[in-house]
Amino acid sequence: MPFALLKYATRSAFKGDHAAERHFRLSPDLKPTYDVVIIGAGGHGLAAAYYLATRHGITNIAVLDKGWLAGGNTARNTTIVRANYLTPEGVAFYKESVDLFRSLSNELDINVMYTERGHFTLAHTDAAMNTARWRAEVNKHMGVSSEVIGPDDVKRICPTLNVSDDVHYPIMGALYHPPGAIARHDAMAWGYAKEAARHGVEIHTQTGVNRILIENGRAVGVETNRGTIHAGRVLQAVAGSSSVVANMAGLKLPIRTIPLQACVSEPVKPILDQIVVSGSLHVYISQSARGEMVMGGATDAYGLYSTRSTLDFKESLMAHMLELFPFMGELKVLRQWAGMADMTPDFSPVMGVTPIENFFIDAGWGTWGFKATPVSGLRMAECVATGRQPDLLKPFALDRFGSFDLVGEKGAASVGH
Amino acid sequence: MKIMICPVNGPRNIAEFAWGGEVKPDVDPATCTDQAWTDHLFLEANIAGMVTEWWLHTPTNTWFIARRNTLTDEIIETMTLDAYYMREGAISA
């Protein structure tokens, strides 16, 4: 046996000299008290913990999760990042997220594989062309690169796309957003977890919250399956379970939990550089770094707390997808899954302060949560640290519904035009 | 294909139906507070488990009530509005 093999094998087995570094330490027992307890160890919760620790000097934090690290919608989205929304409030918010994404690999010292691919929102109707022009004007005004292009330019930039008239819904044009990108979703969670833990944040998985303790209209702690802990402030960031957790604090939310399904094909050589979305056809697609075609559609037709997949979804998705990309008729579906999306009436998140003092909410992330991971973490950290609603989050406050001040984000994914 | 039983038209493909959301107690906008009205419009119980909901059979425009389990995706029962109001002890609409 070669000596080197023996040397390195025994070293790593017995001394740990060459063992891979853990992304984050496993935290020991729960402490009786934390300054901040964050419910939900997904991208948003971990990002909030990271920014609380690094931007606000608050490190006595516990991030609790009923399951495992980033096992919810952080692991179930289709990893698209873009800022070409419709409302000025939405564009400003997602633009800040894109700006944060661009330097995230350096900041977190982990490769989040942020890759700008170019993003098409295809238009097949006059109404969709009008929305595309509207979005392009709002985007340009806000400093986000977006333009409306015709079928010829679509074909030039993305030759694999079928722009022929001989289809059910011919392509009339597209909103083209060159900075549209994809990123590695797991690496986002690992990076935030690793760096938050390095600053002293504790991450406790397999720790479910059963009750939120409220005294005189003020959150004072949580009761978990591992005991009761006191908290100066509590933040919930639990995606599809937002209503269930908020209900523990006695809050009702303007949210319906509806599954969003997705699937990937078997991996093939690089053939599709861009991200292609059609609001009219309710489909979107990109090719991942390992070659799989990542595809998704509209949310399911009715509410459900389940991540089951259906044949109906794949039938309707593929019918449109094959018209856009006829070559995909030769590909097989490799994997399918679903996430529970918390849908709001105005396709915008519900973030910030609540009527309960020291209780904060990061919810309503529907089909637009992944791309907001950095900005929601940064701004929710500011909100929790100061106890006040940051300016950027004011349009997304829970109390907007009481004054009919809805955002109306028709630029969200899964929204038809 | 998932089957839902319309209380008027019998078992049909669920693609023929539209989800109308949870049944909420009626609020009179003329007499209630503004807060009570916006709460009624926007807030949802969004229960993980047994729910009572409005459903529509779209080809025949038939509204009815369904009880579902939102954790298991099971339709427990469907009933006409009359049957629902009778059971709830309210006066038929």
Cα gap B81→B78, rounded to integer Å:
10
Which residue in the block uniquely carries the two structure tokens 């609409």?
A: B93
In which region does residue A216 sit, left (phi positive, over 0), alpha (psi from -120 to 50) or beta (all else)?
Answer: left
Instruction: Decide if A305 and B71 are in contact by the 8 Å CB cutoff.
Output: yes
- What is the band of B93 on the pLDDT scale with cuts at 50, 70, 90? very low
Phi, psi of A175, rounded to the nearest 5 degrees: -85, 115
**Residue A268 identity (one-letter amino acid):** V
Strand partners, B53: B22, B66
Residue A148: which of A179, A117, A122 has the closest Cα? Answer: A122
| pLDDT at residue number A22 | 75
Size of interface A-B (CB pairs under 8 A): 62
pLDDT in tens, A85-134: 999 999 999 999 999 999 999 999 999 999 999 999 999 999 999 999 99
Mean pLDDT of B16-40: 94
- Please say if the pLDDT value at position A218 is more than 60: yes
Q: Quote the percentage of chain B above a pLDDT of 90.
A: 88
Percent of chain A scoring above 90 in pLDDT: 88
pLDDT of residue A136: 96
Q: pLDDT by residue (tens digit) across A292-344? A: 999 998 899 999 999 999 999 999 999 999 999 999 999 999 999 999 999 99
Q: A371, A360 in Cβ contact below 8 A?
A: no
pLDDT at residue A4, rounded to an integer: 79
Given pLDDT bands bounded at 50, 70 and 90, which one contains residue B92?
very low
Confidence of residue A18 (pLDDT cuts 50, 70, 90): low
Give me the percent of chain A exceeding a pLDDT of 70.
95
Is residue A336 one of the residues assigned to a domain?
yes
CATH of the domain at A94: 3.50.50.60
pLDDT at A155 over 60: yes
Give a yes or no: residue A8 inside a domain.
no
Chain A residues whose CB is inside 8 A of the B72 CB are: 306
Q: Nearest chain B residue to A256 by CA: give it.
A: B46
Judged against a pLDDT cut of 80, whether residue A363 lies above it is answered with yes
In a domain, A407, yes or no: yes
* Domains held by chain A: number: 1
Phi then psi for A11, rounded to 5 degrees? Answer: -60, -50
Note the pLDDT of residue A410.
66
Does residue A405 contact residue A412 with C-beta atoms inside 8 Å?
no
> What backbone torsions phi and psi does residue A78 show, to the nearest 5 degrees?
-110, 20
Whether residue A198 is predicted with pLDDT greater than 90 in this model: the reply is yes
- Residue A324 is assigned to a structural domain of this protein: yes
pLDDT value of residue A350 = 97
Residue A206 lies in a domain: yes
* Binding-face residues of A in 291-320 toward B, CB within 8 A: 301-306, 308, 310-312
- Domain presence at residue A15: no
Q: Quick one: pLDDT band at residue A416, thresholds 50, 70, 90? A: very low
**pLDDT band (50, 70, 90) for residue A7:** confident
The residue whose two tokens read 């993980």 is B48
A245 φ, ψ (degrees, to nearest 5): -70, -40
Mean pLDDT of chain A, nearest integer: 93
- Which residue segment(s) compose the domain that A65 sits in? 27-119+179-270+285-417
Q: How far apart are the first and last CA of chain B?
A: 33
The widest CA-to-CA distance across chain A, in whole angstroms, is 76
Q: CB neighbours of B27 closer than 8 A, spacing ≥ 6?
A: B36, B37, B40
Q: Is residue A48 part of a domain?
A: yes
pLDDT at residue A387 in the model: 97
- Please give the pLDDT value at position A12: 60
Q: Give the pLDDT score at A16.
A: 59
Composition of chain B by helix, strand, coil, percent to 5: 25, 40, 35
Q: Would residue A13 count as lying in a domain? A: no
pLDDT band at B46 (very low <50, low <70, confident <90, very high): very high
Q: Which residues of B touch A308 (CB under 8 A)?
A: 73
Report d(CA A70, CA A275) in Å as an integer.
24
Please give, rounded to a whole number of angstroms, the shortest distance from the CA of B51 to a CA of chain A. 10
Q: Which domains does chain B have, with CATH numbers?
A: 3-88 (3.30.2270.10)
CB within 8 Å: B14 and A301: yes
Q: In this predicted model, what pLDDT tens digit does every residue of A135-150 receive, in sequence order?
A: 999 999 999 999 999 9
CB B18 within 8 A of CB B90: no
Contact: B73, A301; criterion CB under 8 Å? no
**Per-residue pLDDT at B85 exceeds 60:** yes
More confident residue, B93 or A269: A269
- Residues of chain B whose beta carbon is less than 8 angstroms from a beta carbon of chain A are 1-2, 14-15, 17-19, 21, 34-35, 38-39, 41-48, 70-73
